[in-house]
Structure 1
Amino acid sequence: MGFVLLVAPAVLPAPDEVDFGALLAGPSLAHPLGTDQLGRDLLSRLVAGGRLTIGISVLTVLVTGVVGVAVGLAAAATGALGRAAMRLVDVLAALPVVLFGLLAAVALGPGAGSLMIAIGLIGWTPFARQTFLLALVESGREYVGAAVALGAGPVRVLVGHVGRNVVPPLLAHACVRFAGTLLTVSGLSFLGLGVQPPTAEWGAMVAEGREYLFAAPQVVLVPSVAVVLTAGTVLWWGRRWDRVGAR
C-alpha cells in the first residue's frame, strides 16, 4: 500500500484534472475505478487522498505516541505524584475528539493543521495510560530488582529495562490508535472540519460523492472501502505485535 501511494502518482493523471466528457463514468481502461461528478479520475484521487489521510494519521500517532509514552514513563517513576497526574489524564481521555475538532475548526479554521491539533490535544492520553500501566507491571518483575541490586540508576532502569520491554505491547497499541485516528481524520473531514475540497482526502471524497451514491456508487464506495481496508490491515498487524509481546 505504501509503495502504491508513493509510486502511483508518477504514472496516474493529476487528481484534479477534469474530464467533462466522462462525468460519473464507470470503470474503464482510461479510468480503472471510474470518475467522480466532475470527471476526475477516482484512482488518482484515491492515491492522492491516501497520501494525505494516512500521512496525517501517521504523523499524529507518532507525535502523540512520543508525548504519551514520555508522560506515562515519567508518571510511573514518580510514585504518588504520578498516580495523581494519571487521574487528570483519565479525565482528558474521556473527552470526545469530535468536540475538540469543532473547537479547533472554529478557532483555527478547517484544514489539515487544525485536524492534527484537534486530535493531538487529547490523542496522547491513551498512550500515557497504557505506558503507565505497563511500566507499573514491569517495575515489579524480578529482572528490575536484579538491575537495581547491581547498581542501575532509576533512569537506566526506566529507559533501558522497563521502557525496552514495553515496546511490543505499545506497538500493538499504536496500531489500534492509528486505526482510530484514521477513522477520526476521515470522519472530521467528512463533516467539513478537516481538509477542504477540491483537495483529495478520503473522508472529504465520501462527503463530496454522497449525493451521487445511487447514480454512481463508486464515488462513495472507493474511498470508504479504502478507509476500512487500511484500518483493518493495521489492526491485523497490531494483533501480531500483541502476540509478540505476549510471548
Structure 2
Amino acid sequence: MRIPIRMISIATTFFWMFLIVFLVSAVYSVKDVRFDFGEPQIGLTSDNKILFSLPITIDNKGYYNIGCFNVTTEILDHEGFMITRASTFIPVIEKGGQVMATHNVTININDLQNSQDYLFNDTELELREMVGLKLAEVIPVQASTNVSMPWGAPLYNFTLGEIEYAGFNGTHMTATIPMSFENHASFDFTGNIQIQMYNSTNTLVSEGQTTIETPQHVPYSGYIELNVPIIGITENGHLEVYFLTPLFEFGPLVIPYD
C-alpha cells in the first residue's frame, strides 16, 4: 500500500511538534527540581582514611522522572596527579518524589606523604566536581567545575629548639629537646614522635619518643628527653625524626644541630 506524501508530511510535522513540546516541557520542568547540598562533614573511616561526606537532597516536583543522577568528585594534587576519585549514582528520581543521599570521598593520607608539603606546609588541592542526569530519563545534562580546596598541614611549622643538657648520673646527661608545631589539619593529630640523636661521627647516641594528642587547629608545644652518654656528646650532629600515627607514617626528617 502506498502512503501519500502529504500524509507522511503531516505525520512528520506532528512528530516534530510533539518532540518540541516534550523537550520544552522537560527543560521547563527543571525549574521545579531542587538540589540541596548540605554542610560537608569530615571524619575518619574504620581503616583510618579521611572521609568527606556531602549530604544531597533532590526534590523533584517537575513533570517527569529524572534518571541516571550522578555526582563524581576527583581530587588532584598541585602537579595534577589524581589522589582519589568517588562517585554517587541514583538510578531514578520519580516525579513528585524526594531522594536523600550522601556523597562520600575518602583520602588516604599516605598517598600524600611523598611530598613533605602536605605534612608541614599549608597548600591547595584541586577539586573537580561533575554532575550528570537525564531529564525525563531521556535528555542528558552535564555540568562540571574546578575549584581549589585548601589543605591544612597537620605538622605546620614543625620546629625543634636548641638542645639543653643537664646532669643525669656519672656517665649520662639528659638532653631536653623543645618541640613545637601547629595542627592546621581538619583532623586531630594523635600518635608518637620518635627522635634519634646522632653525633658528629654519625653515631647513634640516643633515641626516645613521646605520645602527642593535638586537636585540629590547635598549636602544640612540648619537649622530649633523651639520656645521652657523656662520651658520645659532640658539639654538632643531626636528629632524625619519625612520625607514627594511625593515619600516616613518615620519616626520617633530618634536622642538624650545633
TM-score range normalised by the length of the shorter chain? under 0.3
TM-score by length of 1: 0.28
Instruction: Return the structure number with greater helix share.
Output: 1
Q: Which has the higher contact order (CA 8 A, sep 6+)?
A: 1
TM-score by length of 2: 0.27
Instruction: Return the structure number with greater strand share.
Output: 2
The structure that has the greater radius of gyration is 2
